Structure formats: structure tokens, C-alpha cells
């Protein structure tokens, strides 16, 4: 397996080891040894739960900056529908699009078409699928990675259809290389992303293919620049030249937590949001329940992509903006329908490559050795206090026992087993009531 | 001869819906820890869950034993309870004596036993009316369903 890349980095200089991230991580992928947080890469699913909880702001998303795009001859923005929910009620998607052009993009992609295409491809796939059910959406990279790590037996239920952003990337390259006579690698297809998870899915797709997109810029990265341009008189901005489908309300439904699949019957289709709830439902699926549901649309973030960790606007405000946009959604123009029909007939939407379970055992040992290791971990756990205090540097006593059995840690890291550990921690965390007294 | 590597038993409380599913979850955790092949894990978890639920729904108490050898995973489930008068009938898809209350909770489709059989390489069930039921299922480690 190639080295796993992740969507954020921990700045060890800023990290003071307060363990918020370790406690927030749903897959127990973080350890805080010697006062510094670090990651166990094979367990991380890029959900970003750690990002928001760090009191020292030591964890940041690795997206790209606009300056990095200068090496391309033609830059195209593929904007997540979540972007359009971030500004005022009066700011139309077309105005936001124009601000992107002013920011330096050469074109803003009519992403609604790709969303509609994938919507259809999903509907067709669900109808023809022989089972097992339910199929699970692949648009949220956190969900795909959660399945790879924690629900390996469900990988075959990830819908084998490309996500809309990839379909967009492919068409961006095709269209503009043809129109402008450029080589595909001279054209940048850049996704404007609500989360670092999608940027990592571009850097390293779970299905082990190569992304059609060239990178992702976080919404938070461009937010101020866009807002500034929206508040300036828009008349002065470069170009009302790009006339197109940007006003079409079809732009929005993918980012909605209850993203609609008009052709799937309500009772066989379930939208799910929030990792905690999704984990509960996945547990049930793994036990063989819920087979009467055909398709689950899953978004890891509470509130769906409008609440992604690189968005700025308060989720509820964003949601109200989303509803507002939907309510005022114009009927899709004729050329939208025509474009969808044209492309649907000529493109292949099936997922390139396949998603496989992530192998968690770093060393390859046989079953007998793995059983021995498990028994050892159980023995070790019996000697631990089950307080899950985290002072050993693992999020729970069980994790510490597993770490020791895997030779990732020393059993004496538990403060109940070694005074040396307490002394060390005292040195590392020397601030606090004791110090302030003196 | 298969060499036994691991054996663990779990108590199941009859009629305790609060805890229903906990044992099959625990089994999943164990098998995942052991990096058991995904297809095989899935089959074992389905069998374990349906077996656990049947004890919860119909019996007074029971024991589920997980036995791992270098060739297969076996589940041995024994309960004390009313037993099953007609096993052939109980094995039919759609046959169920579940109460309305159980159906409201999403059980009682009469699919549990048929699914257990479908997901195991060997399956046998014995029952004595008024005493209890025992189910034995074997899933081979190299089985790819
Ligand atoms: N352990 C048991 N003790 C007594 N009766 C049982 C037991 N297991 C199954 N039965 C009987 O066999 C019937 C069929 O069982 P099965 O598991 O196939 O379906 P179900 O439990 O009724 O529904 P489902 O499993 O789909 O929720 C049950 O309704 C019950 O009458
Ligand atoms: S729900 Fe959306 S914003 Fe959140 S991680 Fe998934 S894809 Fe990103
Ligand atoms: Mg049953």
C-alpha cells in the first residue's frame, strides 16, 4: 500500500498536548505521547473532528492556496454548492461566480450538469444492482474511509459510480483542451471545497485511481476575498461575459443533507447526516439489517456539506440560505436539459478502480500470531483501571492495551503503573495551579 | 484436524431488548481485531446477530460460544426456553411467531433462521419443546460468499 496521505497537519510547535483531538477522534487515530499529538495514519478517516476542537489551533487543513495555481495556463473553478450558501441572502450564485472570476479563475464550471448526471447514473445503478443492499453514496470521502477502516465487509456496498466533482474535472479538461487547444495538464480543474476530506480525496482517491481534479481550495481560504468583491459594486467586476447555467437552481441540491433523488422511491432511500448516527446505522447494516433500503446518502458532517469544516457561515444560516435558493429556483433552462441528455448518452460514470478495505495490521503476521496478540492485549487490559483518563497518551485503556500488544507503546505509560510517567507528565505540563501558586 | 485458536462464551439474556445486538457487536470487534477476511466476518456477524436476536426474542437465557480454528469460525448457541415444535416450518422464509411489539421494532420477518443457514457453510439446529434450542453454525475462513 502506498503511504497514506491525510488532509491536515499537526503543527508540533503549536501543540501543547491538551488531548482534545485525541478524545474527539471517532476512530481513535490520535495519540498524545510526550505532550505532542500524532496520528496513526492507517486509522485516520480525514473527518476533521480534530480540527475544530484544538484549543491551540495546531491542526490545520492541507488545501492549496490560489498562488499555487499560477503554473497552469487556464484555471477553472468547480465550486461545491455549499459555497453559494455562505453569503448573504441577496448574493446570487451568479454574483459569487463573478467574484471567483475576479479572483483569478478563468472560468467557473457549470457544475449543476455534472450533479444531475451523477444523480441519474446513481438512479440507474440502484435499479440494476443485484445486491447486497443498501448501496451507500461515495460523495463524502469520510464515509468511504470510515467503511474502509471500520466496516471492511461493506466496501462492496459503496456505489460504484464516480462522484460529481470527478465527472466535472474530466469534462473541464476535455472541453477546454478542445476549445483552447491546450494540453489537459495545462488546464487546472480546481474544486472549491467545504472540507479537507474532499481535498484529500483528490490527492489520494480511496479507489486508488488518479483524480481528474488538480486540487482543492477551501471555502474558508477564499471567503474574505469573495465577500469583499460581493460588497464592492459588482458592475465594475471583470466579466459578465460568462453567460451560462450558473443561475440554474440545480446547482444546489447535491450539498443539501436531504439531497433529493427524484427517481428513487422515498421509502427505499434514506439520507443520513452526522458520523454518530451513521455509525449506528452501519452497525445495523453489518448485522444484515436494512436490506429493504436501496440507497443511503451519507454525509459525515452534521448538516451535510453546508456544515463542512472549511465553511465559514453558521450552519443554520447556511441552511436557511440554501432553502431560500431552492425556493427561488428557476426552472432549469432548456440548454441545461439538452446538455445533460447529450452527455449522459456519451459518458461513462462507473467508478474507476475499486474501494478495498484498509489493512490495519502494519506487520503481516499469521492468524495464530494475531490471536496471541489479542490474548496479550486482553491480559494487559485486565491490569488497567478502565478509567480512560488518557494520560498514557491513548484515548482509552483498551487502546493502550492494544498499543502495547502491537508494540506501539510501553505498558508503563499508564500513570497507574509507573510513577516515572507521572513525573514526566508533570515536567511536560508544568503550567497549572501548582505553578501559578509559586 | 483443525487446531482451535480461540474460544469465548457470552451470556445472552432473554427478553432484554436493551442489550440486544451487543454480543454480535462484540464478536465483530474481536474478528476485526484479528483481521479476519471481510466476507467471512460479515457472514459470521449476520449469523451471530440473528442467533442472538432469536434468544432475546423467544428464550429465557442462552449462551453463545465463538470458536476460532485455523480453518473456520464456529458459533454454538444454546438456550433455555420454549423450544421449536416444528423445525422445518421455522426454517421456512417468512414463518414467524413474533409478537406485534417485536414486529414494530423491525423484527419478525421470519428471515433469521433462513439467513443464518444461507450465511454458513454448515448449519444445524436442534430443539426440545419446553427445554430449549441449540444452533450450530460453521463459516469457513476461506469461504467467499
Ligand atoms: N431460540 C428460539 N426459541 C424458540 N423459538 C424460536 C427460536 N428461534 C426461532 N424460533 C421460532 O422460529 C421462528 C422463525 O425464526 P426466524 O429467526 O427465522 O424468524 P423471526 O425471528 O420470527 O423473524 P426475524 O428473524 O426475521 O426477525 C420464530 O418466529 C420462532 O417462532
Ligand atoms: S459531509 Fe461534506 S463537508 Fe463534511 S466531510 Fe463529508 S463531504 Fe466533506
Ligand atoms: Mg429471528
DSSP state of A129: -
State the smallest CA–CA distance between residue A391 and chain B in angstroms: 24
Compute the mean pLDDT over every residue in chain A, rounded to the nearest whole number: 86
Whole-number Å distance between alpha carbons of A261 and A246: 21
Which tops the pLDDT comparison, A10 or A400?
Answer: A400
* Alpha-carbon dihedral sign for residues A424, A429, A431, A434: negative
ipTM of model over 0.90:
no
Whole-number Å distance between alpha carbons of B98 and B79: 17
What's the mean pLDDT in A366-393? 94
- pLDDT reading at A2 higher than 60: no
Hey, which residues does A189 pair with through a beta bridge?
A: A76
pLDDT of residue A324: 84
Is the Cβ–Cβ distance between A95 and A208 less than 8 Å?
no
Residue of A111, A26, A35 lying closest to A77 (CA atoms): A111
pLDDT in tens, A264-279: 777 788 889 999 999 9
pLDDT of residue A235: 58
Minimum-distance CB partner of A286 among B30, B45, B141: B45
pLDDT of residue B106: 81
Which three cell numbers, joined as nine digits, stand for A107? 472560468
* Secondary structure in 3-state letters for chain B: CCCEEEEEEEEEECCCCCCCCHHHHHHHHHHHHCCCCHHHHHHHHHHHHHHHHHHHHHCCEEEEEEEEECCEEEEEEEEECCCCCCHHHHCCCCCCCCCHHHHHCCCCCCCHHHHHHHCCCEEEEEEECCCEEEEEEEEECCCCC
Ligand 1: residue of B83, B96, B114 to mutate (most ligand atoms within 8 A of CB) is B96
- pLDDT reading at A436 higher than 80: no
- pLDDT reading at A116 higher than 50: yes
Put the strands of the sheet holding A187-193 in their side by side order.
A107-108, A74-79, A187-193, A215-218
pLDDT in tens, A75-100: 999 999 899 999 988 888 888 999 99
**Any atom of ligand 1 within 6 Å of the Cβ of B99:** no
Whole-number Å distance between alpha carbons of A418 and A38: 22
State the smallest CA–CA distance between residue A277 and chain B in angstroms: 16
**Which atom of ligand 2 sits closest to the CA of residue A273?**
1
From chain B, the residues in CB contact with A359 under 8 A are 35
If pLDDT is split at 50, 70 and 90, which confidence band does A247 have?
very low
SS3 A201: helix
From chain B, the residues in CB contact with A371 under 8 A are 5-6, 34, 68
If pLDDT is split at 50, 70 and 90, which confidence band does A3 have?
low
Domains in chain B (CATH in brackets) are: 4-84+117-140 (3.30.565.10)
pLDDT of residue A163: 93
If pLDDT is split at 50, 70 and 90, which confidence band does A124 have?
very high
If pLDDT is split at 50, 70 and 90, which confidence band does A250 have?
very low
Residue of B60, B82, B78 lying closest to B16 (CA atoms): B60
Residues 6+ apart with CB under 8 A from B104: none
Whole-number Å distance between alpha carbons of A53 and A58: 10
State the smallest CA–CA distance between residue A32 and chain B in angstroms: 22
**Any atom of ligand 1 within 6 Å of the Cβ of B51:** no
Minimum-distance CB partner of B68 among A360, A371, A402: A371
- pLDDT reading at A251 higher than 80: no
If pLDDT is split at 50, 70 and 90, which confidence band does A249 have?
very low
- pLDDT reading at A244 higher than 80: no
> Which residue lies with its CA nearest to atom 25 of ligand 1?
B112
B118: exposed, middle or buried (Cβ count in 10 Å: 0-12, 13-18, 19+) = middle
Q: Regarding beta strands A295-299 and B132-140, do their DSSP bridges make them parallel or antiparallel, or are they unpaired?
A: unpaired
**Which atom of ligand 1 sits closest to the CA of residue B55?**
1
Minimum-distance CB partner of B35 among A153, A286, A360: A360
**Which atom of ligand 1 sits closest to the CA of residue B77?**
1
Whole-number Å distance between alpha carbons of B13 and B124: 22
What's the mean pLDDT in A292-311? 90
pLDDT of residue B145: 52
Ligand 1: residue of B110, B124, B130, B131 to mutate (most ligand atoms within 8 A of CB) is B110
Whole-number Å distance between alpha carbons of A184 and A176: 8
Minimum-distance CB partner of A361 among B5, B35, B141: B35
pLDDT in tens, A383-398: 999 999 999 999 999 9
If pLDDT is split at 50, 70 and 90, which confidence band does A260 have?
low
Kindly determine whether residue B35 and residue A359, on different chains, have CB atoms separated by under 8 Å: yes
Whole-number Å distance between alpha carbons of A235 and A252: 25
Interval between CA A162 and ligand 3 midpoint (Å): 37
pLDDT of residue A268: 82
Which tops the pLDDT comparison, A1 or A18?
Answer: A18
Taking the Cβ of residue A368 and every Cβ of chain B, the question of whether any pair is shorter than 8 Å is answered with yes
- pLDDT reading at A438 higher than 80: no
Whole-number Å distance between alpha carbons of B36 and B66: 14
Whole-number Å distance between alpha carbons of A79 and A87: 14
Residue of B78, B85, B30, B24 lying closest to A378 (CA atoms): B30
Q: Among A67-71, A77-81, A171-175, B78-82, name the one with the lowest average pLDDT.
A: A67-71
What's the mean pLDDT in A158-171? 95
Whole-number Å distance between alpha carbons of A372 and A395: 23
Q: Residue A99: enclosing H or E segment and its boundaries?
A: helix A93-103
Domains in chain A (CATH in brackets) are: 8-62+361-431 (3.30.70.20), 66-344 (no CATH)
Query: Which residues, given as ranges, of chain B have pLDDT below 70?
Result: 144-145
State the smallest CA–CA distance between residue A353 and chain B in angstroms: 18
pLDDT in tens, B45-60: 999 999 999 999 999 9
Is the Cβ–Cβ distance between B73 and B31 less than 8 Å?
yes
- pLDDT reading at A241 higher than 80: no
Kindly determine whether residue A283 and residue B25, on different chains, have CB atoms separated by under 8 Å: yes
What's the mean pLDDT in A11-22? 94
- pLDDT reading at A125 higher than 70: yes
If pLDDT is split at 50, 70 and 90, which confidence band does A363 have?
low
What's the mean pLDDT in A304-320? 90
Amino acid at each position: 500500500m502506498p503511504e497514506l496521505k491525510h488532509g491536515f497537519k499537526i503543527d508540533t510547535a503549536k501543540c501543547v498536548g491538551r488531548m482534545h483531538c485525541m478524545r474527539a477522534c471517532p476512530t481513535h487515530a490520535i495519540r498524545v505521547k510526550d505532550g505532542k499529538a500524532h496520528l496513526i495514519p492507517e486509522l485516520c478517516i480525514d473527518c476533521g473532528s480534530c480540527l475544530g476542537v484544538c484549543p491551540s489551533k495546531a491542526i490545520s487543513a492541507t488545501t492549496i492556496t490560489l498562488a499555487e495555481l499560477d503554473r497552469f495556463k487556464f484555471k477553472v473553478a468547480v465550486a461545491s454548492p455549499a459555497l453559494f450558501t455562505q453569503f448573504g441572502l441577496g448574493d446570487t450564485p451568479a454574483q459569487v461566480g463573478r467574484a471567483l472570476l475576479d479572483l483569478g479563475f478563468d472560468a467557473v464550471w457549470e457544475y449543476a450538469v455534472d450533479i444531475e448526471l451523477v444523480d441519474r447514473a446513481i438512479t440507474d445503478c440502484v435499479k440494476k444492482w443485484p445486491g447486497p443492499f443498501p448501496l451507500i453514496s461515495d460523495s463524502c470521502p469520510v464515509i468511504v474511509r470510515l467503511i474502509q477502516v471500520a466496516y471492511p465487509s461493506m466496501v462492496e456496498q459503496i456505489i460504484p459510480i464516480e462522484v460529481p466533482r470527478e465527472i466535472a474535472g474530466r469534462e473541464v479538461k476535455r472541453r477546454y483542451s478542445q476549445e483552447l487547444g491546450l494540453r489537459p495538464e495545462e488546464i487546472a480543474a480546481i474544486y472549491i471545497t467545504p472540507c479537507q476530506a474532499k481535498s484529500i480525496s483528490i490527492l489520494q482517491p480511496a479507489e486508488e485511481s488518479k483524480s481528474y481534479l488538480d486540487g482543492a481550495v477551501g471555502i474558508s481560504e477564499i471567503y474574505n476575498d469573495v465577500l469583499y468583491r460581493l460588497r464592492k459594486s459588482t458592475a465594475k467586476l471583470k466579466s459578465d461575459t460568462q453567460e451560462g447555467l450558473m443561475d440554474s437552481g440545480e446547482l444546489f441540491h447535491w450539498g443539501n443533507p436531504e439531497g433529493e433523488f427524484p427517481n428513487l422511491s422515498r421509502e427505499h432511500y434514506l439520507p443520513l447526516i452526522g458520523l454518530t448516527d451513521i455509525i449506528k446505522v452501519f452497525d445495523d447494516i453489518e448485522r444484515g439489517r436494512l436490506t429493504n433500503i436501496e440507497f443511503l446518502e451519507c454525509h459525515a458532517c452534521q448538516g451535510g456539506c453546508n456544515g463542512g469544516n472549511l465553511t465559514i457561515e453558521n450552519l443554520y444560516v447556511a441552511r436557511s440560505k440554501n432553502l431560500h435558493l431552492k425556493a427561488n429556483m428557476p426552472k432549469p433552462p432548456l440548454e441545461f436539459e439538452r446538455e445533460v441528455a447529450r452527455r449522459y448518452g456519451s459518458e461513462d460514470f462507473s467508478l474507476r478502480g475499486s474501494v478495498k478495505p484498509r489493512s490495519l495490521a502494519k506487520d503481516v503476521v499469521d492468524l495464530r500470531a494475531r490471536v496471541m496478540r489479542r490474548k496479550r492485549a486482553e491480559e494487559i487490559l485486565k491490569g488497567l483501571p478502565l478509567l480512560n483518563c488518557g494520560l498514557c497518551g491513548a484515548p482509552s485503556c483498551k487502546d493502550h492495551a492494544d498499543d502495547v500488544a502491537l508494540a506501539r507503546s510501553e505498558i508503563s505509560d499508564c500513570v497507574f503503573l509507573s510513577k516515572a510517567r507521572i513525573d514526566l507528565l508533570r515536567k511536560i505540563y508544568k503550567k497549572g495551579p501548582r505553578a501559578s501558586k509559586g | 484436524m483443525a487446531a482451535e485458536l480461540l474460544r469465548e462464551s457470552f451470556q445472552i439474556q432473554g427478553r432484554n431488548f436493551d442489550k440486544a445486538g451487543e454480543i454480535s457487536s462484540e464478536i465483530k470487534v474481536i474478528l476485526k481485531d484479528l483481521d479476519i477476511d471481510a466476507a467471512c466476518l460479515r457472514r459470521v456477524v449476520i449469523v451471530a446477530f440473528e442467533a442472538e436476536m432469536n434468544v432475546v426474542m423467544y428464550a429465557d437465557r442462552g449462551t453463545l460460544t465463538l470458536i476460532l480454528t485455523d480453518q473456520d469460525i464456529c458459533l454454538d448457541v444454546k438456550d433455555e426456553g420454549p423450544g421449536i415444535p416444528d423445525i422445518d416450518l421455522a426454517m421456512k422464509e417468512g414463518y414467524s411467531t413474533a409478537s406485534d411489539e417485536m414486529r414494530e421494532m423491525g423484527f419478525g420477518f421470519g428471515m433469521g433462521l433462513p439467513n443464518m443457514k444461507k450465511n454458513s457453510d454448515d448449519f444445524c439446529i436442534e430443539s426440545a419443546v419446553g427445554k430449549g434450542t441449540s444452533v450450530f453454525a460453521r463459516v469457513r475462513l476461506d469461504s467467499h460468499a
